[in-house]
Structure formats: C-alpha cells, structure tokens
Amino acid sequence: MHKYLILTMLLFSLSFLTAGDYIIGTGTSNQNYVPFNGNYNYSWSKFFFTADELLAAGMTGTVQITKIGFQLVSNTFDNYITNDQRIYIHEFYDETYPSNPQYVNPSSYPIAFQGTISWTSPGWVFIQLTTPYSYTYNGGSPVPNGIEILWENRDGSSQSPIRNSLIPPPVIITPPINITILLSQPVPAPE
C-alpha cells in the first residue's frame, strides 16, 4: 500500500484592512480522510479551530476569510478533479467533538463554497470562497468563539484507482487533532 506524505497545514488567506495570510498549524501531522474520503460517492468531514488557535495565528478583531489552502507534498495528483464540493464555515464554541459525532444538516450554516476543485501536487491548492466568511473574535465572552468547517463531497463517483490518495488534509494544529469524520455514514445523496 502506498503511503502519501501530506503535511497538515491550512492556510487561510484573509483580508482585514490589508491582505494577509494566516497559517494555522505546524505542518507536522498527516491526514488521509480530510477534507473528504475519495472511497465514497458522497462523504463529509468537519474540523475546527479554537479561538486560541486563531488568535495564535494573528486573527484578531474582524477578519474576512476569502480562500483556504491545503499543502500537498506527494507527487500523486495532476489536475485531479472533484466536482460538487461544498464548504460551510460557522462559529464553533467547543474544544472537542463528541465520541460518536453525527452528520449535521448544514441548512442553517452559510455556504462558503460550492463547485469543482482541481488538485495538483506537490504544492498548495487554494480554494477561492464564493461567499467569504467574516470571523469576529468575541473577546471570550461568554465563551471564546472559534470556527468550524464542514466539508461535503457530493461528487457522485468514488475515485477508485486513487482511492484514499486524494485527501489533502486540513488544518490541524498540533495534536490532539480537532477533526472528525464518519466513514461509515457518508452524506446522503442529493435528492
């Protein structure tokens, strides 16, 4: 079985008065099923950043998130296309996920991106959000607010020879890794 080295770093390109890049994480963790699992026709994942992690990256005040990026270091992907990818971003107030998380219908979450993504490695893959997300740190009152990203893969076809090798990882700050995914319960097929 081939192993693919994928650094886990999520780059938020944001603008607040002047444009700036905020890098969250150390790039020392690997992920194989985030932001989605290529074994399923439809799948989902979610991951979050705590307020402390966002503040450590320099995100203070109000920051407009306009794109996100994943760094890939494997030479595996050359214009690997995934259709109907959906990214939702919303405020998040917890520091862990429950031990048995369930899929959450994102109808009340703002959709930040819906479209096709082309993955090429090695290097950064940037996703320009169709609807930027405005994050404002609440000062910790009553509870510090971070952000959560819910990713839906609604491509409709599994990527069988590549299987799990497409899987650019998100974020992830140093362990413990703040992500969850239910591989056994892919997102429902669209109606």
Q: What is the pLDDT of residues 87-97, one digit of tens each?
A: 999 999 988 88
Closest of 46, 73, 39 to residue 161, by C-alpha: 39
Phi and psi at 21, nearest 5°, equal -110, 135
Lowest mean pLDDT, pick from 97-101, 133-137, 161-165: 161-165
* CA–CA distances in Å: residue 116 to residues 6, 23, 67, 81, 91: 21, 24, 14, 7, 25
Which H/E stretch holds residue 85?
A: strand 80-92
How big is the chain, counted in residues?
A: 191
Closest of 19, 2, 55, 6 to residue 170, by C-alpha: 6
Is 69's pLDDT higher than 70? yes
Closest of 128, 8, 126, 25 to residue 69, by C-alpha: 126
Could you read off the pLDDT of 123-150 as tens digits, one per residue? 778 888 999 898 899 988 888 999 999 9
pLDDT value at residue 175: 27
Two structure tokens written together for 152: 């839906």
Closest of 53, 78, 60, 28 to residue 149, by C-alpha: 53
Contacts of 170 (CB under 8 A, 6+ apart): 8, 10, 31, 34, 35, 45, 47, 70, 149, 179
Could you read off the pLDDT of 48-57 as tens digits, one per residue? 888 888 888 8
Closest of 145, 125, 117 to residue 133, by C-alpha: 145
Domain boundaries, the chain: 10-180
Is 18's pLDDT higher than 60? no
pTM score of the predicted model: 0.74
* Rounded Cα–Cα distance for residues 149 and 91 (Å): 9
Percent of the chain whose pLDDT exceeds 70:
64
Q: Which residue has the tokens 């369930």?
A: 102
- DSSP secondary-structure letter at 107? G
pLDDT band at 24 (very low <50, low <70, confident <90, very high): confident
Is 113's pLDDT higher than 90? yes
Neighbours of 23 (CB within 10 A): 15
> Which residue would you say has higher pLDDT here, 35 or 50?
50
pLDDT value at residue 31: 65
